[in-house]
Structure 1
Amino acid sequence: MATNYKNIAVAIDFSEQSKKAFEQAIEVANNNKGNLYLVNVVDTKSFGSVSAYDLEYAGKLKEENLQKINKLKNIALEAGVAKVEVKVEEGSPTEILTQLPDVNLLICGATGVSEIEKMMIGSVAEGIVRRAKNDVLIVR
């Protein structure tokens, strides 16, 4: 049975794997005439402690990532995707990505930006597969 995906989210951490996931998401969105949501999560759970410095750093990182993700939005629009929205959040990537409302397909790269994750399936990708209530596409 073929599924028609109308609301597609893609996890963006700006790694090579997430760039491949982004390219795949454009194709899926265009094939399904669907909406595309570009989602970046500043992983504050990886910060050592919650201090004023950490919060200030997270805010700056969120601002930088919003600028980068808006460039990807323009690329997706130029590639023919009708509706593209961006979201940059702070918190746990797995929790935020698996709780996106109205998404029927979540696309992410197999590994993320850390060296340890490059040796195995990424911990975020694994968490998404385990917790997602919608279909998941892991891109290599």
Structure 2
Amino acid sequence: MVETYKNIAVAVDFSEKAKIAFERGVRIAKLTNATLHLVCVIDTHSFGSVEAYDLKYAKALKEKAVDHLKEFQEQAVQAGVANVQIIVEEGSPKVILTSLAESDLIIVGATGLNRAERFLLGSVSENVVRNAKCDVLVVR
């Protein structure tokens, strides 16, 4: 593992499992001297119809996500990770997380913020496991 990972992506939706994924990502990035990519996806598919979709709402969510990720970034740097990048995208988390070309490890929480998904392995994490072109670590 020490020589394998150079770009580690951690899916962050600010759930408890995502915090655990972040902590695991920090530890692995320190061990491997990898770049840690903190990835938050604003799920615009959950906004409903096009008429109800308000660009101001998405922009506010994106700004809030960046602010929170900057706190995570600071924690990672203080923990000894040399290179921490923030990525905030809009769209489908399933699609965006599996299309991170640079990543050689994706870390996701077993479940996210969606209560319905908590009954099984979260649908986002399941999709990432099935479709990612790199290693995936699902944390509980």
**TM-score, with structure 2 as normaliser:** 0.95
- Give the match for residue 99 of structure 1: 99
Unaligned runs of 5+ in 1: none
Unaligned runs of 5+ in 2: none
CA distance in 1, matches of 2:51, 2:26: 38
- Give the match for residue 115 of structure 1: 115
- Give the match for residue 89 of structure 2: 89
1:120: Cα distance to partner? 1.3
**TM-score, with structure 1 as normaliser:** 0.95
Q: Structure 1: which amino acid aligns with 2:44?
A: T
CA distance in 2, matches of 1:51, 1:87: 27
Deviations 1:100-121 (A, max 9, x none): 1211000000000011122211
What is the root-mean-square deviation of aligned Cα atoms in Å? 1.4
CA distance in 2, matches of 1:79, 1:73: 10
More off after superposition, 52-61 vs 30-39: 52-61
- Give the match for residue 56 of structure 1: 56
1:51: Cα distance to partner? 3.2
Aligned-residue identity in percent:
52
1:9-20 aligned within 5 A: 9-20=9-20
CA contact (8 A) 2:2 2:32 kept: no
Q: Structure 2: which amino acid aligns with 1:94?
A: K
CA contact (8 A) 2:2 2:31 kept: no
3-state SS, counterpart of residue 38 of structure 1: strand
CA distance in 2, matches of 1:2, 1:88: 28
CA distance in 1, matches of 2:3, 2:84: 20
CA distance in 2, matches of 1:98, 1:27: 22
3-state SS, counterpart of residue 57 of structure 2: helix
Q: Structure 1: which amino acid aligns with 2:28?
A: V
Consecutive aligned runs of 4 or more in structure 1 exceeding 6 Å deviation: none
CA distance in 1, matches of 2:94, 2:65: 18
